[in-house]
Chains A and B, each alone.
Chain A
Amino acid sequence: MNILGASSITGSALDAEKIRVDITSQNIANANTTKGIDGKAYQRKIVAFESILDAANGNGLQGVRVSEISADQAKGELINNPQHPHADKDGNVQMPNVNVAFEMVDMMTATRSYEANLAVVRNARQLANQALAIGR
C-alpha cells in the first residue's frame, strides 16, 4: 500500500540529505586529521546527487539519490611546524583540505533541505488523514 502521497520520492530525499549531513560532519570532525589510516592527511569528501525517475509515481516525477561520494583531490595547506609529530623532513605538515566555514554552510543547507522534506511528509500525512475523513 502506498497511501502517503509521494512518499517514495520524499523518502529518497531524506536518505540523500542525511548522507550529506553525515559526510559534512565527518569532514568537520577530521578538519585537523594530519594522518589517516592510509598514512596521509584527510581528504575532504564530496557528495554528488542525481535525480532518479520515481517508478511508484511515474509522470516524470523524480526522487534523488547519492550518485557518488568522492574525495576532493585539491591539496590542503602545507604548514611549517617542525614540532608536530607528523612533520616531514622539511618540518612541514600537510593539513587536510577541509575549510570548516565552507562545511558549516553545507551542513546548514543540507539540514534545511532535510527539514523541508520533513515538511513534505507532514503535509502528505495531513492529506491522507483528510482523505480518510471524507463523508464522516
Chain B
Amino acid sequence: MEMVASLFNSDNYTAVKKMMDVAALRHAAIASNIANVSTPGYKRVDLGRTFEQELIKTNDGRDAAKIAALDPLVETDSLTPSTRADGNNVQLDSELLKLTTNTMNFDALSQFASGSLKQLRTAITGRPA
C-alpha cells in the first residue's frame, strides 16, 4: 500500500480527518442537549473529558496511527450542576455558544482537508487544481 497510502498518511491530514469525526459527533451531542432543554431530569451529554485529554496528548505525539485509532464517545456529563428544580442541567446559552463554535471548527477543518487534497492534486498533475 506504500505508494497510495503514503499520499495520505501525513499526521496533520490524519488528525484533521479525525477531528472532523469529533466535530460531527459533538454536533449530535449538542443537538441532543438543546432538544432536551425542557425535559425534566435530563443530564447534558458531551464528549468525555478523558477523551479530550487523550486527544491533546496524541496530537502532540505526532503519530498518525495513534490519532487514527482514537475513538470519540459521547458521555453523560453529570458534573455540571443543575440550576433547576427538575434536575435538568442544560444551559441553553452555553449550548448555543458551543454549537456555533463547533460549526466554525468544522468549517476550518474542512478547509484544511481541502487544502491538503488540492495540494496533492497540484503536485501530481503539475497544474494548479
The stretch that binds B, out of A37-45, A77-85, A88-96, A120-128, is A120-128
Q: Does A117 contact B (CB under 8 A)?
A: yes
Asked if B39 contacts A116 (CB within 8 A), the reply is: no
For the complex, give the distance between the alpha carbons of A126 and B103 in Å: 7
Q: Nearest Cβ distance between residue B14 and chain A, in whole angstroms? A: 15
B40 at the interface (CB under 8 A from A): yes
Chain B interface: which size bin? Answer: 35 or more
Contact of B34 among A120, A127, A130 (CB under 8 A): A120
Mask: chain B, 34-71; 1 = CB below 8 Å from A; 0 = not? 11111110100100000000000000000000000000
| Bound CA–CA A17/B107 (angstroms) | 29
Q: Number of A residues whose C-beta is below 8 Å from B?
A: 38
Tell whether A131 is near chain B: CB-to-CB under 8 Å: yes
The answer to the question of A64 belonging to the interface, with a C-beta cut-off of 8 Å to chain B, is yes
Among A4-12, A22-30, A68-76, A97-105, which stretch is in contact with chain B?
Answer: A4-12
Chain B: residues with CB nearer than 8 A to chain A?
A: 20, 23-25, 27-32, 34-40, 42, 45, 73-76, 92, 95-96, 99-100, 102-103, 106-107, 110, 113-114, 117-118
24 contacts across the A-B interface (CB closer than 8 A)? A5-B28, A6-B32, A9-B28, A13-B34, A49-B38, A54-B32, A57-B28, A59-B25, A60-B75, A61-B45, A62-B42, A64-B39, A113-B34, A116-B34, A116-B95, A119-B99, A120-B34, A120-B35, A120-B99, A123-B99, A124-B27, A127-B27, A133-B110, A135-B118
